[in-house]
Chain A
């Protein structure tokens, strides 16, 4: 077993294990914290895949932004001292059947497809390349993303603020 293999299995284990905790944990704060490990694990996998820039963005945006936001949500909507969140498991049978079908389909897709891949050596760093693409070929989407963030800002502000009574 090579060094990379060991690292891969390590990160994969962290990712899947903590993702499992997110779904099954009855304590919402534990769920949020194990999501942190999932995000870290994914970032590690990105590094293995040679996507160093994305690994950093993953940690900054997901861990630094989204997760903190989710934790704020948890804390604003629950008294942490008395964490008692109902986790009903309704619709269990149809859900199980649906998930079973989806699981079979996805795994078979992933295993038995001839992906259009051409193994080329990955450049040492992808950051410069991504930067160049962002302001040339993908400049439209880059700008559109700016509009999207503006809209999200306006929307969140208008929903969360209290009306004048």
Chain B
């Protein structure tokens, strides 16, 4: 069995499959295992890393799957060349990326994703004393804010676009898990790490978003909008970093390349996490944004099912159902407000790879037409950044995926011929 993605879902699938005597290989783009959420190996991940070590699983890091040669054969690019991955079953646990929305100034250096800035700090960026604003949407914002503050950032504000604070107050019938999360918004302080220097408290605002980032060669400040009970408020704040992401978008490109059906932006799976293609399974955020716990249980079910242990898999269905219910509530709670569709000005860049402005996109009726005429979505990221934006802005759906699913070296393309 091959697992693509060494995040929680992938590791859970690998562990269960290997326990049940499948020969398992895990392949991942990142230099280390753990996915985005377990980057840097936090304590809560150790139990899973230990489980993987306790079974016979081969983990290949720094390998980017880019091409399917034929049924059961994938090619991945590594720093030392192309490796061929053969499988009789595969679990696609390719995770999710942040959704980015364009607003004036969002292309300035030091404007990053919320997870983006956290990843940089986890991998060596000193953030102590830097003035940071975390903005956008989703449960990630609070976690990122707490993390950055714990590492000495001067956290000026955490701005959630959804009106979650109001939901927290009037949240009748909310599930406990969600209620707890929303209540975190009402906490005035202090989620810094124990022992961290006393800092002034971070403001959490809901119904608040960044309407513009200012600066010449890099970020110097932002304009914020807060839609409160008594009308709105607009003001400017100077800062060093803006960490801004609008919840998550599943990474479905590889599943599409393998012919798996995608519905509403997520890979369609049956009760055993099998996609519409036999022996191709999918688990975690790839099948719909649902967070860590859902990813783990989906991964375990996929691993068990791939190993033929359907009864054992069935025993985990109740846990998955509960986590899915929570995920649905979460996704509804953090639904994006319409005002965000009107942040970008005509001259604001939407496609950062090809510098295509909103004005140029407006002239077209589909993403396909826009791509043909403007090159929107045709640069190195292959629409992974602007795709989530144009879906929200114009309701455009991504068009067919073609190999290679991400940019590779010419050498790797030549090697494809050799492997044939």
A binds B: no
Residues on B lying within 8 angstroms of A by beta carbon are: none
Residues on A lying within 8 angstroms of B by beta carbon are: none
